[in-house]
Amino acid sequence: MNAKGQHGQGGPGHDDPRQAVWAVVASDIGPLLLAATDDGLVTVVFHATDEVRDQALERLGSRLGAEPVEAPGSELLAEPIHQLTAYFAGERHDFELPLDWSLISGFNRQVLRELTTVPYGAVVGYGDLARRVGQPGAAQAVGMAMGANPLPVVVPCHRVVESDGGIGGFGGGVETKRRLLALEGVLPEPLF
């Protein structure tokens, strides 16, 4: 996966206001809000109903210091929309997008960058991921990092599962996680 771009090194507290463009796109798991800056894709939000969308845009604007602009035809969103559409169609297994990591920092950013190396169709345990970033006792903190992931699907937090075989939690809901893992062939397709 080439989603590890070095973009967005400013991190939280970045003083310069940065403009984001956004669009809501349909997907197999419901409407997704995608937002991007000049540095790359900055956020993906599940279940982007009007209320969820408005809350997410307000948070994003306050973090970036500028109100996001709706721009579904923006060049900044064209490739993320194309690649996500291909992913849900089963035609793409890896995302090759510039990512803006400015909404996340420290341990959480380190864990999420490592997560981008977990391939399509594979899973990793919370404890295994903690060991991979040199923090073997930090499985619970890895779970918190998954919950803070501003780029779900593209940074595949759905691929992190419990060591006992349980599916684990998911910010987009367990059913969404099941559907993503079924799409990738890790779980059987739900019967209904």
The residues that are catalytic are: 157
- Give, in order, the Cα–Cα distances in Å from 120 to each of 72, 87, 155: 27, 10, 11
The rounded Cα 69 to chain-centroid distance in angstroms is 20
Amino acid sitting at position 127: G
Can you state the angle between helices 139-147 and 106-115, rounded to 10 degrees?
A: 90
Q: Which two tokens stand for residue 65?
A: 């210091």
